[in-house]
Amino acid sequence: MSKLQPARGTRDIFGVEARHMTAVVDTFKRVATSYGFEELATPIFEFTEVYKRPLGEASDIVSKEMYTFEDRGGEELTLRPEFTAGVCRAFISNGMQQNTPCRLMSHGPAFRYERPQKGRYRQFHQINAELLGQADPEADVDMIAMAWRILKDLDIAGNVVLHLNTLGDKESRDAYRAALVTYLEGFKDKLSEDSLRRLETNPLRILDSKDEGDREIIAGAPLLSECLNEVSQKFFETVKKGIAAAGVPFVHDERLVRGMDYYTHTAFEFVTDALGAQGTVLAGGRYDGLIEQLGGPATPGIGWAGGIERLAMLSEKGVAPAAATILMPMGEAATLKAIELAEVLRDAGANVMSDRSGNLKKRMNRADKSGAAFAIIIGDTELEAGVAAVKSLSTGEQTDVPFGELAEHVTR
């Protein structure tokens, strides 16, 4: 029998990596809660129409990347490729429009069939935030400021740059689309196959092309800023002033777009080159037409998503070991005392585990590798004296501490 391995593009997450990813989620939930967000957990799979309708048949996600299957009842279902469509479906299904604005945070796995790459897998994980029912530019500022605070709290802010642009309202966007198509029509014989297809279905997506020939053509394309009406210009100016007031540094990236028709006004990406090639770690935008496109009432919205794997890889913040204190009882009587003391220490808020296998040298080696702060040794001598030998694993210093004072010592 061949050795069992995870499917391509998936992997097992454990140990330090799991703790780093948990730290990302914990930071996200803490910061988002401070901005008034509530948690929403949507199903990992939805009816395929939930994704197909807003993303469009011609989009790469729908045509190439979605994991779609038919269940035993004949229903066509799709594993979640992104969060926003499912969150908006939940907004409609649960009548949340009665209580707008809704501030919703989610996190968990998503699935796309694409070439696995550094920090991005076929099963990947995201943090996601959506603000529904608030149309003013200050909502966009709130969302970007919240993302920046999360990045700061993860010690990532120094490695990322916020790229910001406006897509304008529908009138501005339609005008730009027409100007872009007119320009690109002159290069039909030079565009890549993918871009030729997008020229008919979604020309703005051509601006995201990675093809070198396309990039040269795009460099001379008209800018969206040239097509903005007064309303769109004013909206974007308010966003820029608000972001500056929130203390978030940014660059105005006029080539940054979102290809879907429901996107309007603000688009942004937090970009890093600390993982090798330049990559996006968190991105989002305003999508005032999405809920209506899904069959709900006209509702403004803005949201963003961040890749947990990439954020965890970037974060320089230390994470606590699984157990900061390791009890090492030597003998049967000491083991019973260790069980008692472990519960006392946990009552005091300490993370504790017992290591009862092997000689003391092997146990100390394991403790050093674990990242724990203390090793607590209890043998017959300690039991008789009513003390525990507490060794600081960072300094090597060892102290005898009375059992009654142990909790205060390790939590201090």
Tell me whether strands 123-132 and 250-252 are parallel, antiparallel or unpaired: unpaired
Q: Is residue 1 very low, low, confident or very high in pLDDT (cuts 50, 70, 90)?
A: very low
**Average of per-residue pLDDT across 341-349:** 93
User: Looking at 259, 285, 314, which one is the last position of a domain?
Assistant: 314
Question: How many residues make up the chain in this entry?
Answer: 412
Cβ contact 78:51 at 8 Å: yes
Q: How many domains are there within the chain?
A: 2
Same domain, 344 and 284: no
- pLDDT tens-place string over residues 52-76: 887 766 566 776 789 999 999 999 9
Closest CA to 144 of 166, 123, 114: 166
Sorted by sequence, the CB contacts under 8 Å of residue 330 that are 6+ apart come out as: 360, 377, 378, 379, 380
Residue 44 has pLDDT above 70, yes or no: yes
Same domain, 337 and 291: no
Q: Is residue 254 part of a domain?
A: yes
Which of 201-205, 325-329, 366-370 has the least mean pLDDT? 201-205
Q: Is residue 7 part of a domain?
A: no
**Average of per-residue pLDDT across 86-104:** 95
User: Looking at 314, 342, 372, which one is the last position of a domain?
Assistant: 314
Residue 9 has pLDDT above 50, yes or no: yes
pTM of the model: 0.86
- Which residues make beta-bridge pairs with 306? 127, 282
User: Which among 7-21, 269-283, 299-313 has the top mean pLDDT?
Assistant: 299-313
Residue 139 has pLDDT above 90, yes or no: yes
Q: Is residue 245 very low, low, confident or very high in pLDDT (cuts 50, 70, 90)?
A: very high
Higher per-residue pLDDT: 200 or 138: 138
Same domain, 33 and 123: yes
Q: Residue 110's Cα: distance from chain center in Å?
A: 11
Same domain, 294 and 368: no
**Average of per-residue pLDDT across 191-210:** 84
